[in-house]
């Protein structure tokens, strides 16, 4: 069995002892911007950036302080205050897992804050935008830093709120408002699972803290109750991370401004489900358990579904959203493989955070220069007009398809190799998914940056200002080097081991393994097919009808249609019936009874119109008389 994860030690003082500052900075930022409102319009965005950067600085300092401890002492708990007396205290857990997330959230988050200065420059509500971004960062940090499930859940729904506000940032568009609401409601279905999971955890173990569970659960232990908890937590993870069957909200979420798609719906929030599974891994998803297998199956199914959806989208952001679903599917698959997969899942989560944010922001840069056009059929040949955007996007592209030596190559390949080893069927599906990724991402590149121009005459594509391109460059740098740095010589795995456990045998990275070579071959095939269909020949500027399969993918595999016929329409009928029953059934019965008691329905009608008050008064007097009479009788 895998080696046990390290004990948690209480910690006071130092940067870690004050880690709550990480959450406090952006929270204060959001508060100031919301409360002082218009007065902060002129400098609000700068405050937002400053608060996010301050949080990043604290995270970096805490990271180095953590490195100063011996490996087995790198789990530091910080007690904050008594939250629900007798049930749970609010506290933070600074350990290798949470600090990885904190660095990603504040680092990539700060870059996206900076980028948004330029992207949102012409929006009259830019200040409000930054307040929501700050709120998001604070909530996301609480989610990953909390040392218990309740704190995690507060952050969990906090990021859901920020996501709701930001998807609906342009709420005057009905489509944006609908998408925001849908995202929240679908997430709540997942939250139901998380909630009930917490009920069972508390009832079974009498604690909701990670430390408390660690003390009670021996690694590898499974039974029916723990399987149930695992599946319920997985339901929560599916909602937040847009995994099947709760995936439908993510594509609609692209209604939000593009930096939001980059930060929340690609780099950080949607990966919270992976965090939840890995954080609970030692308790409820031990290697080889049913719950872990369910996680891996959900991941494999979603990585294929997302990739297929990505193939059919002409909207550049929706194409990227399908890809996000798919990539998180890879992470989930990795997270369902026990400690052997965790490091790769988290590694892929980090590199994906970079290259996907890079591409989303690149897409934003394209839209910025193209009058907010998102239809790739109306792009074409843009590499000449936006060289920096093109270069950075291209690096992100190479990273995601797993081009050798770039970030995605190492992390995705790690997941695939481990999966092939542990769950061969799922592993080979992941190989197939990589091939499809090669196709749809190449398609995107060809449609956007190559070929002839297809845009309308009033579009004047131009490169974006430095405030937007510099974050792109930094993100693409991460897309190049991070993967190799984290995976080679097992740096990330060894760093994470005290928090998530260490596999029996350390994996070695082979550049010429069978699954690895098969992946590369399939990716190449996918890219070539894309070139034949979208590079060699001119892309029609109107969407062709397409086969049954294309329609299937365009309609998001009929996910919405399914939800509509299974839940929405029956729900509407149920609501109508209930309202009718309430008005006619119960109320009618009561009115009828009252009329019956009163002698005739005529009296009731009078009650409702003219003599109501007299009638009521008479009852009241009657009651008073009765009271007096009863008292008198008692006295005799």
The C-alpha atoms of residue 390 and residue 167 are separated, in whole angstroms, by 26
The reply to whether 85 sits near other proteins by the rule CB under 8 A is yes
Stretch that binds other proteins, among 101-109, 194-202, 221-229, 389-397 (CB under 8 A): 194-202
- Residue choice 42, 172, 452, 542 for contact with other proteins (CB under 8 A): 172
- Residue choice 52, 98, 163, 209 for contact with other proteins (CB under 8 A): 209
C-beta closer to other proteins: residue 29 or 503: 29
The C-alpha atoms of residue 475 and residue 201 are separated, in whole angstroms, by 39
Taking the complex as a whole, the smallest distance from the CB of residue 54 to other proteins amounts, in Å, to 21
Restricted to residues 550-579, the positions that interact with other proteins (CB under 8 A) are: 571, 574-576, 578-579
Contact predicate 382/409, CB 8 Å:
no
Nearest one of 169, 383, 145, 397 to 265, comparing CA atoms: 169
**SS3 of 13, please?**
coil
The reply to whether 465 sits near other proteins by the rule CB under 8 A is no
C-beta closer to other proteins: residue 186 or 496: 186
From residue 522, how far is each of 251, 330, 438 by CA, in Å?
26, 17, 8
The reply to whether 9 sits near other proteins by the rule CB under 8 A is no
The reply to whether 105 sits near other proteins by the rule CB under 8 A is no
Instruction: Please tell me whether the peptide bond between 505 and the residue prior to it is cis, using omega within 30 degrees of 0.
Output: no
Stretch that binds other proteins, among 40-48, 59-67, 493-501, 606-614 (CB under 8 A): 606-614
Stretch that binds other proteins, among 303-311, 361-369, 483-491, 628-636 (CB under 8 A): 628-636
Residue 130 CA, distance from chain mean position: 19
Taking the complex as a whole, the smallest distance from the CB of residue 145 to other proteins amounts, in Å, to 15
The reply to whether 224 sits near other proteins by the rule CB under 8 A is no
- Residue choice 67, 562, 566, 630 for contact with other proteins (CB under 8 A): 630
The reply to whether 629 sits near other proteins by the rule CB under 8 A is no
Restricted to residues 108-167, the positions that interact with other proteins (CB under 8 A) are: 148, 150, 153-154, 156-158, 161, 164
Q: Could you give the angle at which helices 316-335 and 424-449 cross, rounded to 10 degrees?
A: 160
- Residue choice 12, 489, 543, 608 for contact with other proteins (CB under 8 A): 608
- Residue choice 177, 467, 477, 528 for contact with other proteins (CB under 8 A): 177
The reply to whether 626 sits near other proteins by the rule CB under 8 A is yes
Q: Could you give the angle at which helices 339-369 and 387-401 cross, rounded to 10 degrees?
A: 160
- DSSP string over 209-251: BHHHHHHH--TT---HHHHHHHHHHHHHHHHHTT-TTS-HHHH
Nearest one of 198, 183, 199 to 260, comparing CA atoms: 183
The reply to whether 625 sits near other proteins by the rule CB under 8 A is no
The reply to whether 192 sits near other proteins by the rule CB under 8 A is yes
Restricted to residues 307-366, the positions that interact with other proteins (CB under 8 A) are: none
Contact predicate 131/44, CB 8 Å:
yes
User: Quick one: CA dihedral 226, 228, 230, 233, positive or negative?
Assistant: negative
Taking the complex as a whole, the smallest distance from the CB of residue 578 to other proteins amounts, in Å, to 5
Taking the complex as a whole, the smallest distance from the CB of residue 72 to other proteins amounts, in Å, to 22
Phi-psi category of 533—alpha, beta or left, where left has phi over 0 and alpha has psi -120 to 50?
alpha
The C-alpha atoms of residue 305 and residue 549 are separated, in whole angstroms, by 13
- DSSP string over 525-545: HHHHHHIIIIISSPPPSS---
Stretch that binds other proteins, among 70-78, 359-367, 558-566, 615-623 (CB under 8 A): 615-623
The reply to whether 631 sits near other proteins by the rule CB under 8 A is yes
The reply to whether 203 sits near other proteins by the rule CB under 8 A is yes
**Judged by CB under 8 A, how many residues of this single chain contact other proteins?**
78
The C-alpha atoms of residue 247 and residue 337 are separated, in whole angstroms, by 22
Restricted to residues 577-596, the positions that interact with other proteins (CB under 8 A) are: 578-579, 582, 586-587, 590, 594
- Residue choice 223, 512, 547, 609 for contact with other proteins (CB under 8 A): 609
Restricted to residues 64-83, the positions that interact with other proteins (CB under 8 A) are: 81-83
C-beta closer to other proteins: residue 320 or 607: 607
Taking the complex as a whole, the smallest distance from the CB of residue 634 to other proteins amounts, in Å, to 7
The reply to whether 615 sits near other proteins by the rule CB under 8 A is yes
Taking the complex as a whole, the smallest distance from the CB of residue 468 to other proteins amounts, in Å, to 27
Taking the complex as a whole, the smallest distance from the CB of residue 597 to other proteins amounts, in Å, to 10
Which residues lie across from 79 on neighbouring strands?
91
Contact predicate 409/403, CB 8 Å:
yes
> Is 36 buried (19+), middle (13-18) or exposed (0-12) by CB count in 10 A?
middle
Stretch that binds other proteins, among 54-62, 188-196, 265-273, 353-361 (CB under 8 A): 188-196
The reply to whether 613 sits near other proteins by the rule CB under 8 A is yes
The C-alpha atoms of residue 340 and residue 326 are separated, in whole angstroms, by 21
Restricted to residues 24-53, the positions that interact with other proteins (CB under 8 A) are: 34
- DSSP string over 55-99: HHHHHHHHHHHHHTS-GGG--EEEEEEEEETTTEEEEEEESHHHH
- Residue choice 61, 103, 200, 473 for contact with other proteins (CB under 8 A): 200
């Amino acid at each position: 069995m895998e080696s046990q994860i390290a004990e948690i030690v209480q910690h006071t003082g130092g940067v870690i002892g004050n880690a709550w500052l990480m959450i406090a900075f952006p929270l204060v930022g959001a508060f100031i911007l919301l409360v002082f409102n218009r007065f902060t319009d002129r400098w609000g965005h700068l405050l937002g950036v400053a608060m996010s950067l301050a949080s990043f600085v604290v995270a970096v300092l805490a990271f180095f302080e953590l490195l100063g401890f011996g490996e087995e002492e790198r789990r530091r708990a910080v007690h904050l205050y008594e939250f629900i007396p007798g049930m749970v205290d609010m506290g933070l857990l600074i350990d290798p897992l949470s600090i990885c997330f904190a660095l990603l959230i504040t680092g990539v988050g700060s870059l996206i804050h900076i980028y948004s200065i330029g992207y949102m420059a012409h929006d009259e509500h830019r200040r409000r935008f930054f307040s929501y971004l700050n709120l998001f960062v604070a909530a996301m940090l609480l989610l990953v830093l909390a040392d218990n499930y309740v704190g995690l859940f507060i952050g969990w729904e906090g990021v859901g709120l920020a996501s709701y506000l930001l998807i609906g940032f342009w709420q005057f568009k009905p489509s944006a408002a609908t998408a925001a609401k849908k995202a929240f409601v679908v997430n709540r279905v997942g939250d139901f699972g998380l909630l009930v999971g917490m009920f069972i955890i508390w009832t079974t173990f009498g604690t909701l803290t990670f430390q408390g569970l660690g003390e009670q659960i021996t690694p590898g232990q499974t039974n029916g109750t723990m399987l149930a908890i695992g599946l319920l937590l997985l339901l929560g993870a599916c909602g937040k991370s847009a995994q099947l069957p709760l995936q439908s909200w993510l594509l609609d979420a692209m209604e939000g401004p593009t930096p939001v798609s980059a930060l929340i719906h690609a780099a950080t929030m949607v990966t919270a489900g992976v965090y939840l599974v890995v954080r609970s891994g030692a308790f409820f998803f031990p290697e080889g358990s049913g719950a872990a297998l369910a996680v891996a199956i959900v991941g494999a199914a979603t990585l294929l579904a997302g990739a297929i959806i990505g193939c059919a989208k002409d909207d550049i952001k929706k194409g990227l959203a399908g890809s996000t679903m798919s990539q998180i599917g890879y992470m989930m698959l990795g997270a369902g493989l026990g400690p052997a997969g965790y490091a790769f899942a988290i590694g892929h989560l980090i590199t994906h955070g970079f290259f996907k944010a890079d591409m989303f922001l690149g897409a934003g840069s394209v839209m910025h220069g193209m009058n907010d056009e998102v239809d790739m059929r109306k792009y074409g040949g843009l590499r000449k007009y936006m060289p920096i955007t093109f270069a950075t996007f291209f690096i992100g592209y190479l990273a995601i398809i797993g081009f050798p030596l770039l970030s995605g190559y190492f992390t995705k390949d790690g997941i695939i190799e481990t999966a092939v080893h542990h769950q061969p069927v799922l592993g080979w599906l992941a190989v197939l998914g990589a091939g499809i990724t090669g196709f749809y991402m190449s398609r995107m590149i060809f449609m956007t940056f190559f070929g002839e121009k297809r845009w309308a005459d009033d579009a004047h594509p131009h490169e974006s200002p430095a405030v937007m391109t510099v974050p792109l460059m930094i993100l693409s740098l991460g897309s190049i080097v991070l993967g190799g740095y984290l995976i080679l010589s097992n740096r990330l795995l060894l760093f994470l081991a005290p928090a998530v456990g260490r596999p029996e045998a350390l994996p070695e990275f082979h550049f010429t393994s069978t699954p690895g070579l098969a992946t590369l071959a399939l990716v190449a095939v996918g890219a070539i097919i894309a070139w034949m269909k979208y590079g060699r020949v001119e892309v029609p500027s109107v969407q062709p009808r397409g086969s049954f399969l294309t329609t299937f993918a365009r309609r998001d595999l009929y996910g919405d249609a399914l939800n509509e016929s299974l839940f929405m329409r029956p729900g509407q009928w149920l609501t109508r019936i209930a309202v009718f029953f309430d008005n006619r059934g119960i109320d009618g019965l009561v009115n009828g009874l009252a009329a019956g008691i009163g002698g005739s329905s005529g009296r009731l009608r009078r009650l409702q119109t003219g003599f109501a008050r007299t009638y009521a008064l008479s009852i009241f007097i009657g009651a008073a008389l009765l009271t007096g009479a009863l008292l008198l009788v008692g006295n005799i």
